[in-house]
Amino acid sequence: MKKVVLGTIAAAMLATSGLAADYVMKISHVVSASTPKGMAADYLEKRIEELTQGKIDVQVFPNSQLYGDGDEMKALAMNNVQVIMPSLSKFPSIVPQIQLFDLPFLFRDKEHLYKVMDGEVGAKLKSFVDAKKQMIAFDYWDAGFKHFSSSKQPIINPEDAKGLKFRIQSSKVLEAQFKAVGGNPQILPFSEVYSALQQGVVDATENPLSNFYTKKFHEVQSSLTLSSHGYLGYLVVMNQQFWDKLPKDLQEKVAIAMKEATELERKETAIEDAKIMEALKKYSADTKKLEIYQLTDEQVAKWRKVMEAIYPQFYDVIGEDLIKKAIETK
C-alpha cells in the first residue's frame, strides 16, 4: 500500500512539474549516455532545470532515439528538437569556414586548441553559424585529436604515407592532406571502415582514440601513431526560434549551464582518452599485434612543414586571416 501511495504521489509531482514548465527543451544526440558527450547532455538537463527552477523542462534523447545522425540538423531547423551537438563535419555545407578545424597540424596541443575555440577565431566561426538565422551556436565540445593508424608500414615520417590508401571523411581539406604526402584518400562511411580494413580496401585511417578503440580498429591494424595531427569535435547548437522565445533571464541561465557542461565534457574526454590509452598499451603488450609510436618534436616539425603547404589552397574558403589568427593564438 505504501508503495502504491508513494508511486501515486511521485506521478502527481511529475505531472505537476510538467505543467509548471513554461518551455520544453528536447536535446537529441547520437551516442551513448555513458560517453563524455552523453554525460554532458545529461548534466545540461539537470543543471538547466535547477537554474530555471523548473521553468524549462529538459528532455534528453541519446543513441539516436529521437533523430539519427543524418536527420538531426533538419529536425533542429524545424524546431522538432531544440538542442543538438553534431560533429563539426556537419557544418561546412552552411559554413565552409568551419573547415579550419580540418587543417592538419594546425593546433600545437590541447591548450592551443581550446584557446582558438574559446577565443576570437572560435567566436568568429560561431557568428557565421548564427548569421544563418536558423540556429544559435554555443560551445565546442571535444572528441579528441586524430592519430594515424596503419595495416602496413608504421606512419612515422611524411614519406611513410606514400602509396597508402587512407580512409577519410568527405572533406576537401582531408583529401589535400593525404595527397600532399603521396597518399591515396578514399571516402568511406564510418560504418564500413572495419570491414574495409579487414579486406584491404584501405590501409590506413585517422581517428581519435575513442573511435579507434571502440570500433576495434586496433584488431585489424598493426600500428598506431600518436600524431595528434587533426581534430574532431562537436558544436552545440540551439534552434533560433526557441532561443528567441526565452526571456533574457532564462537565456542567461541556459548559457551558464552550457558553460559548465562544456567544462565537464572536455574533462571527461581527457579521462576517457587516458583510460583508452592504457587499454591499448595493455593490448599491445599482451598480443604483440599492435605497435604504438609517439612522434618526436623533430618528426612533428617535418609533418607540419609538409602540411602547412596546403593551407593556401583554402585561403579563399576558410579565410587567410582566420587561419593565421588560429596559428598565432597564444
What SS3 class is residue 294?
A: strand
What one-character-per-residue DSSP string does 30-94 give? SS-TTSHHHHHHHHHHHHHHHHTTTSEEEEEE-TTSS--TTTHHHHHHTTSSSEE--BGGGSTTT
Grid look-up 600518436 returns 226
Question: Domains of the chain: which residue ranges?
Answer: 86-328
Q: Are 299 and 154 in contact (CB under 8 A)?
A: no
What one-character-per-residue DSSP string does 163-205 give? T-EEEE-S-HHHHHHHHTTT-EEEE--GGGHHHHHHHTS-SEE
pLDDT by 10s per residue, the chain, length 330: 333 334 444 444 444 444 579 999 999 999 999 999 999 999 999 999 999 999 999 999 999 999 988 899 999 999 999 999 999 989 999 999 999 999 999 999 999 999 999 999 999 999 999 999 899 999 999 999 999 999 999 999 999 999 999 999 888 999 999 999 999 999 998 889 999 999 999 999 999 999 999 999 999 999 999 999 999 999 999 999 999 999 999 999 999 999 999 999 999 999 999 999 999 999 999 999 999 999 999 999 999 999 999 999 999 999 999 999 999 999
What pLDDT, on the 0 to 100 scale, is given for residue 19?
55
Residue 161's contacts (CB-CB under 8 Å, 6 or more residues apart) are 148, 155, 178, 181, 182, 183, 204
DSSP 8-state symbol, 13 = H
What fold, for 86-328? D-Maltodextrin-Binding Protein; domain 2 (3.40.190)
What pLDDT, on the 0 to 100 scale, is given for residue 244?
97
Stated pTM of the model = 0.89
Query: Cα separation of 70 and 54, whole Å?
Result: 31
What pLDDT, on the 0 to 100 scale, is given for residue 268?
96
